[in-house]
Amino acid sequence: MPTQESKLPDNVPVNRKTENLEPDMEIATGEFMTTDQGVRINNDSDSLKAGDRGPTLMEDFIFREKMTHFDHERIPERIVHARGSAAHGVFQLYTPLPQLTKAGFLNKAGQETPVFVRFSTVAGSRGSTDLARDVRGFAVKFYTDEGNFDLVGNNMPVFFIQDAIKFPDLVHAVKPEPHNEIPQAASAHDTFWDFISLMPESAHMIMWLMSDRAIPRSLRMMEGFGVHTFRLVNDKDESHFVKFHWKPLLGVHSVAWDEAQVISGKDPDFHRRDLWEAIDKGIFPEWELGIQVIPEADEHKFEFDLLDPTKIIPEELVPVQRIGKMTLNRNPDNFFAETEQVAFHVGNVVPGIDFTNDPLMQGRLFSYTDTQLIRLGGPNFHEIPINRSIVPVHNHQRDGFMRQQINKGRVSYHPNSLGSGCPFLAGKMQGGFTSFTEKIDAQKIRMRSKSFRDHFSQATLFFNSQSEPEKQHLIDALSFELGKVETKEIRERMVSILSMIDDGLAAKVALNLGLKVQKPETPINKNIPADGNPDDYEPVIMKSSVEKSAPLSMVNTVKDSIESRKIAILVAQGVDENSLIEMQDALTEAGAVAEIVAPKLGTLSAEKDTIVPVKHSFLTASSVMFDAVYVPGGINSIGTLMKTPEAIYFINQAYKHCKPVAFDESAKEILAKTNIGEKDDIDDGIIVGGDVKSLATSFIEAIKQHRFWEREAFHKNPA
């Protein structure tokens, strides 16, 4: 029977005419949903599959029409992932994997495969800020000896939806609202949370999006994930399921939400500039490629479905094996030609890597090519230099917009005799791609597998795995986002959804919103076909077999280096050059970038008339652009800084954002002017006095920790 959304008002006829409307104006109120050809739609939630866990069928005209229209909605900017930064590099394999895959680039130890990597935000336009709270794209193009392999992922391992047919709805909801094009690059508005509150399957992804993972310190300091479960196939046609992970060697670190908003005003290109400058300085970003491998026989041994893109495989159940390292070592020569024109596609695979029936993946296999056709002007986008395979291309594709390849001869078909049968087909032993022979015996059906109905157990796992500061940040983020929602019913529905994840989480968010928690007996789920049985769509309440997962908290990330961290050194005329130079040398030797910030640009004189070049003034720089702050000695320098409000604010802001701050012994008196104050209970991350060598050692150890989030609770000083 029809759902509440599809039930017509009693006073509206089924075949209502729009006689009083302007030409071409459409009002959907009280009408059935139809295709562009006027055919009424029975199910807008599931693509047509061969069985409820089977692959999406090409004949699904409803899905193809919806996705084609969505893919062509913007010219020439990408609809999603428009804001991007990229770099060239290499991937080097540690250990061959012949038992898992016949892919050549994964079977020769030490082999270097060229790569091009594009990082991006999802929701904003090309001109939006880098520091929006958002998912980050993490797409890697491997130029292998067998053709291009694109690992098109994100910095979060799950996604909002389970079936690609809902992707246009998700993006329409999160994009600026169509009546006023507000807000830009932000999810804190009614349409997004209206959609999310009616889609319980989004619960896990919302935990990631509202966490600190959504505001990374640097593109170089975030994880990457393939999201989907892929297959690896060896030369014996044996299949293993696989999840792909990118683990940054610098660790996973974030900025504070307040800090992200300030950075957006001070330098909206913060991430783009950070990546470019690091590579330009020779501080090359590095990630290790990890895989989680599941034998074919173990497909159904977990309490979740491997094909569900809203689920992770906790590393406690299947450890991540690190199989190689990627190093980004060259910036693009031309942003448009490379970063903007690069075309990724989930369907770009090589022999030994294959797909699964994940319904989100199946839809992406159609969508990417369709999108590039309109963005890049036709079917020859593979000939753009950044997209070209490093191996020669031979086929019978011809003509089309912007054709570059000049094909000699009269033959453009197969089979042929006039061209001696060329190009030849390649057998398995000659490297020809063959799909894994998965048996499919199912009815054609527009439905979702019941094994996809657990929406909350892993959302709870994620929340339980966070440290107390991370939990508080998540609560604050939800309170901020939902506080921007004007429709009370949406806020209430969302709090109800949160109560299915964690009662304490829901209670704290509800308190901040001035609401009461109304926990439903079963979650509200409006994503039900008109003739669907609600029992087949209502979520199943389950509990994860893993209570907490250490890799899900950034507290447990790598904290053994300060390489490429930016340190502000605050000085004025008459600074103690020994205090300055010794610290600067120690930080540089440890791999950090130490930069001078002073009241004015140009140069200044130290106590012994040493000339000190100034990189930034307080007018052009802010503490949010740096990872830590140091104040060297010098009576005149300290006296000037104490009388400079911008210098005191610089220190206070760094302290508020939980960063390490160090003071030379003779700079201690400035403490009384700051929010830190002169007291005996100064917290970790504030280093004061001692000889410069020991001060530098302690300061460097503090910088390795990145942030001292406990400062927020101890000083009631939220960042």
Catalytic residues: 81, 154
Interatomic CA distance for residues 198 and 687, integer angstroms: 49
Reported residue count of the chain is: 719
Three-class secondary structure assignment of 102-122: CCHHHCCCCCEEEEEEEEEEC
Those residues whose C-beta lies under 8 Å from the C-beta of residue 38, and which sit 6 or more positions away, are: none
CA distance 677 to 650: 15
Q: In the numeric block, which tokens belong to residue 170?
A: 């998700």
DSSP string of 69-104? HHHTSSSSS-SSS-EEEEEEEEEEESS--TTT---G
Tokens of 697: 């050692």
In this structure, what are the phi and psi dihedrals at residue 91, rounded to the nearest 5 degrees?
A: -115, 130
Q: Which of 682, 683, 679, 675 is nearest to 708 (CA)?
A: 683
Other beta carbons less than 10 A from residue 713's beta carbon = 12
Q: Hey, what are 541's tokens? A: 């309440």
Alpha-carbon span 540 to 440, nearest angstrom: 26
Cα separation, 614 vs 637, in Å, equals 14
The DSSP-derived string for 269-299 is THHHHHHHHHHHTT---EEEEEEEEEEGGGT
Contact between 592 and 562 under an 8 Å Cβ cutoff? The reply is yes
Q: Please, which contacts does 495-499 make with residues 24 or more away whose CB atoms are closer than 8 Å?
A: 496/197, 496/520, 496/523, 496/524, 497/196, 497/197, 497/200, 497/203, 497/523, 497/524
Three-class DSSP labels, 122-155: CCCCCCCCCCCCCCEEEEEEEEEECEEEEEEEEC
DSSP character for 408? -
Distance of CA 688 to the CA centre of its chain: 38
Q: Which residue has the tokens 């450890």?
A: 319
Q: Where does 302-350 show beta strands of DSSP type E?
A: 321-330
